[in-house]
Chain A
Amino acid sequence: MITKQTIEAYWRENKIVMYLIMLIWFVVSYVAAIFASSLNNIIIFGFPLGYYMGAQGSIAIFVILNYLYSMKMNELDKKYGLEED
């Protein structure tokens, strides 16, 4: 039996996950782009960090974010007994 409390708690946790992911998403793309000029002073393996974040760093993190989101939500479904049959 699923109660109103269960689904409200589920939704609250879902929202926290959503906000966290959106925060990281924002930082690695927009904040990194705003500070790209200073980040470019750090050079790793020939890559200026500011350029690298835009070209590869941010998008690699996006992939990880989507993967983590999918894992975490599957866990939440299980925790609250809301998995599909």
Chain B
Amino acid sequence: MANDAIKAWSKKLRQIYGIYTGVFVLFVIALWIGETLGLPQKYIGYAFLFGTIGVYAAIGFLSRTSAVAEYYVAGRKVPAVFNGMATASDWMSAASFIGMAGALYLQGYDGLAFIMGWTGGYVLLAVLVAPYLRKFGQFTIPDFLEERYGGKLPRIIGILSALIVSFAYLVAQVTGVGIITSRFVGIPFEAGVFLGLAGILVCSFLGGMRAVTWTQVAQYIILIVAYMIPVVAISYKHTGVPIPQIMYGQALQVIESKQKDLINDVKEIEIRQEWKKKANELNEKIKGLPQSWHTGKIELQEKLKNISANDPEKAKIEKTLKDYPKTPEEAKEKWTAAMKEAQAMSKPPKSYTSPPTDTKGIINFLALTLCLMVGTAGLPHVLMRFYTTPTVREARSSAAWALFFIFLLYFTAPAYAAFARSEVLTNIVGQAFTALPAWVSKWAAVGLISIKDMNGDGIIQFSEIIIKADAVVLATPEIAGLPYVVAGLIAAGGLAAALSTADGLLITMSNAISHDLYYKIINPNISPSTRVKLGKALLLVVAGIGAYVASFKLAIIVELVAWAFSLAAATFFPAVVFGIWDKRMNKAGAVSGMIVGLIVTGYYIIGSRFYGVDWFGIKTIAAGIFGLPANIIVALIVSRLTPAPDKNLQEFVDNIRYPKGAIKGGVEE
């Protein structure tokens, strides 16, 4: 595509998305007017849910295609700014949109590993990988591995890693979609999952990468608008200035001084003792397993038998018995989690802005940051977005735009967290239980906030409040006193974030099977139209499996996603970067590096999570810190001990290093 053509095309796209944004704003305003005129909240929820999914479906339909280049790489004509937006929403999942600010609220400085980790990776991507992948100009990451290293083995390892890394991530997104839709329109979780699934498929099924790209741009616009409005309002409420990103410094000061007072507060100490007692009791129960599980169950059953039918306590006991762990194993899992929570609550609040004080804490922080950064730059669904730009130049600029669009949200997340925490410390702590704000009761009802008068003094103490991470972003509209329409907007934004990421992952996996495995290895003779048809069929299959697994609501899913980063960091990243920057790297080196990286990381993940393996106190979530260097060292040593790659492969490296045309043997062809 020539430069002028790109410019004209960009202009047209700007007009289309400009109109789209205007219509969306009008839509929100119309609903707001409706709300003031008495439109019930339920209908506002429906309007947001079906309105936005309807728009995505329309874009998906208009982008339908059966041409190979369109289906796999959106015809390689996505201008930098738009590829940046698509990459940003491809990248930012429900975890970024809803969970990130909550993690900062709960963890203070420690949570910053996610902020730096999930942005710093884009510097690695822009400088080390993106422009060269674009010059290579095929369709997938396994394509690159095979071309660069030769033979099917690198491709097969690439396919396996792509599937492992992407699947856990997909299930987490589908779960997120299920939670948002079910909470929002009041349908069961399983129904929410399948409704969400429909939402995902309408974006990708008819038009592959092309449809996914253009819906992702639309989804980015919705999610960023939704993210900004509540936090701007709360900044205005607290400080009088509607620029939260700058004004939350004041909130930080409030947090630090209030928390300092809490450390020696008599009542707080009293509650912390209660938590300690609770933790010890749980510890005893865990030690006494499986016997303690039996006795606990029998005790509850006895109690239920002896209670009179109209005692108000009866329903409570029935519920406790219903929620009682079904097996001793489940009891161990549940009680350990409860004990850890009680232990954490029994400690005085630590400084919100101070980094960890012990060496182990600092090392874990740095290790996690590195795993997240390198993992980000190694995730196949992000990497393959850089095949879709028209030129190498646009690929570079698109990496910069992508980071800018991600930055807009991440730069704002710390403000969300700080304002929410300062709100809790000033307007909740010290109040009477009878005067709880409406938003606390509302989110307590769905279990995101738990608040209990532990010492029976009728006053709320800080240690009596447990807030789940998701509550921070979800409750901010109500904290700021905004109309319900903004809560609806937040849900639409969360949905857009989850759907866009799910689509990117879905198409990565479908391509790994249809293109990399079937077309490139099993049957190279199939026609282009069959390839696209096969890809579409696989979208349905993979999405179906993803939704089926998500419907079990496994607790381990969140952890699996964190592990995906370590695995991507320890497998893909070194192989791709060496492939570009180290001409001497050969097949033996890259393959053995990837295998060792996968084994070491997998071993540490499983070992430290389930069997008490502990190397230097590194937590499971940062497992890649061992696999990444293992991969690099093994790859370097093995490649130097085996023959250099042949002339063709060396020329291949030359060719991808320089933006212009085909270069062979050091000269232009």
Contact = CB atoms under 8 A, between A and B. Distances in A.
B252 A46 contact: yes
A31 to B, nearest CB: 10
A16 to B, nearest CB: 12
Which 7 A-B pairs have CB atoms at the shortest separation, nearest pair first? A46-B249, A54-B112, A4-B666, A51-B353, A66-B400, A36-B355, A55-B414
Interface stretch (B114-122, B260-268, B486-494): B114-122
B565 to A, nearest CB: 16
B399 A56 contact: no
B393 A60 contact: no
Contacts of B2: 85
Interface string A23-37: 001000110011011
Tell me the interface secondary structure of chain A in the complex. Answer: helix
Interface residues of B, number: 54
Interface in A29-77: 29-30, 33-34, 36-37, 40, 44-48, 50-51, 54-56, 58-60, 62-63, 65-67, 69-70, 73-74, 77
A30 to B, nearest CB: 6
A33 B366 contact: yes
A50 B353 contact: yes
7 contacts: A2-B658, A4-B667, A7-B654, A44-B249, A59-B410, A62-B123, A70-B126
B249 A47 contact: yes
Given A22-B123, A74-B396, A84-B661, 7 more contacts: A4-B666, A11-B657, A34-B362, A46-B249, A56-B245, A74-B393, A84-B660
B101 to A, nearest CB: 11
Given A34-B366, A40-B353, A50-B353, A73 B131 contact: yes
B248 to A, nearest CB: 8
A85 B253 CA distance: 55
A81 B667 CA distance: 13
A59 B411 contact: yes
A36 B411 CA distance: 18
Interface string B628-669: 000000000000000000000000001001111101001110
A10 B131 CA distance: 15
A83 interface: yes
A45 to B, nearest CB: 5
A81 B544 CA distance: 50
Interface of A: 1-4, 7-8, 10-11, 14, 17-18, 21-22, 25, 29-30, 33-34, 36-37, 40, 44-48, 50-51, 54-56, 58-60, 62-63, 65-67, 69-70, 73-74, 77, 81-85
Contact of B660 (A29, A70, A82): A82
A45 B112 contact: no
A59 B126 CA distance: 14
Nearest to A81: B660
Contacts of A14: 657
Given A50-B353, A63-B407, A66-B122, A29 B369 contact: yes
B109 interface: yes
B666 A62 contact: no
A40 B112 CA distance: 14
Contacts of B127: 17-18, 21-22, 66, 69
Nearest to A54: B112
A17 B232 CA distance: 38
B392 interface: yes
A33 B355 contact: yes
A82 to B, nearest CB: 4
Contacts of A82: 658-660
B397 interface: yes
A59 B663 contact: no
A46 B542 CA distance: 49
B427 interface: no
Interface in B362-390: 362, 365-366, 369-370, 373
A45 B248 CA distance: 9
A4 B654 CA distance: 10
Contacts of A47: 249, 252
A55 B365 contact: no
B250 A46 contact: yes
A25 B123 contact: yes
Contacts of B249: 44-47
Interface string B115-153: 110011011101110010000000000000000000000
A2 B410 contact: no
Nearest to A58: B116
B505 interface: no
Nearest to B373: A29
Contact of A29 (B104, B116, B399): B116
A67 B122 CA distance: 11
A83 B369 contact: no
A32 B661 CA distance: 41
Contacts of A50: 109, 353-355
Contacts of A30: 366, 369-370
A84 B391 contact: yes
B53 interface: no
Interface in B128-184: 128, 131
B109 A21 contact: no
A57 to B, nearest CB: 10
A3 B131 contact: no
Contacts of B365: 33
Contact of B658 (A10, A40, A44): A10
Contacts of A17: 127
Contacts of B400: 63, 66-67, 69-70
A45 B654 CA distance: 50
Nearest to A61: B123
Contacts of B660: 2, 77, 81-85
Nearest to B417: A55
A85 B4 CA distance: 11
B353 A2 contact: no
Q: Which of A3, A22, A50, A73 has the most CB of B within 10 A?
A: A73
B315 interface: no
B115 A2 contact: no
